[in-house]
Amino acid sequence: MRARVWLALLALPASYDASALGALADVTVIDRDSGAELTTYYYQGEYWIAGRPDGRYVIDIRNCTDGRLLAVTSVDGINVISGATAAWRQTGYVFDTGERYQITGWRKSNEEVAAFFFTDLSNSYAARTGRPANVGVIGLALFRERRPRPVYSPPQVAPFARRGESMAQAAPAPWSRAADAASSSSLALPARPAASAKLGTGHGPREYSYVSDTEFLRLHAEPDEVIRIRYDSLENLVAMGVLREPAPTPPTLNPFPGSHEHRFVPDPSG
């Protein structure tokens, strides 16, 4: 099927990140304003990150395989390229071997995106388009590429017609291929009511981001790996028990606040 591909001219240098999620690809979420990776917390079978209201973010992906990789990417249950309710068989981004790039927003054309930023659920793109049910989750369905093999055909048979028919009949892959491969840990408290409004992803200002089209034939009909990252505000993660509330730093106390001791005679004022 046809899928969109990032041009390699602006690809970031590849580097291993122990906190990244995924086996076929390293996936992290990065705060664009600080450049810091958002810490991943593992809680009751889910991976969580804490978003900062109004903070811009990017989804950082690096292909760890020896071939091209298709990443069908969704935010809040919506395909980030087409804006359709997300499904595995839709378009995605294609990464060459070792290529790393950052998905920065909702794609508006081959030249522009509308930036991702954390915002209240009611202001999220999903809610504003009538699809609030899956607000608070980032998803990637990763597909390996089927590499075409040359096949001899007798002269009386049209080789391209037969080869095209074979390509269209990709056998479904068993679901056991899909896996979340990463580790993280957190200490949990009993669940409590949410402390603030749930976070979603907004439709931010437009910015330049160029892509082109490429052909990509999936090795299997179902994803070779599915990565799911849930997110909410820090206050809500604490309220849900995903992580402990940071202990407050006690202020420095002066036992004699009204006294200013001097070892020697101080200078006069002026």
% pLDDT > 90, the chain: 62
Residue 155's pLDDT is 58
Grade residue 148 by pLDDT with cuts at 50, 70 and 90: confident
Residue 110's pLDDT is 94
Residue 258's pLDDT is 72
Residue 15's pLDDT is 38
pLDDT by residue (tens digit) across 210-262? 999 999 999 999 999 999 999 999 999 999 999 887 667 777 777 777 776 66
Closest CA to 67 of 133, 1, 145, 153: 145
pLDDT surpasses 60 at 1: no
Grade residue 161 by pLDDT with cuts at 50, 70 and 90: very low
Residue 181's pLDDT is 37
Among all chains, which residue has been given the structure tokens 């089209």?
213
Residue 200's pLDDT is 97
Mean pLDDT of 50-73: 96
- Rounded CA separation 229/199 (Å): 13
Mean pLDDT of 193-215: 87
- Rounded CA separation 48/50 (Å): 7
Higher pLDDT, 18 or 199: 199
3-state secondary structure of 133: helix
Residue 12's pLDDT is 41
pLDDT surpasses 60 at 171: no
Mean pLDDT of 179-184: 37
Closest CA to 227 of 47, 104, 102: 47
Residue 18's pLDDT is 44
Determine which of 61-65, 165-169, 193-197 has the lowest per-residue pLDDT on average: 165-169
3-state secondary structure of 81: coil
Average pLDDT over the chain reads 80
- Kindly list the distances between the CA atom of residue 270 and the CA atoms of 182, 262, 263, 266, 267, in Å, as whole numbers in the listed order: 65, 18, 20, 12, 9
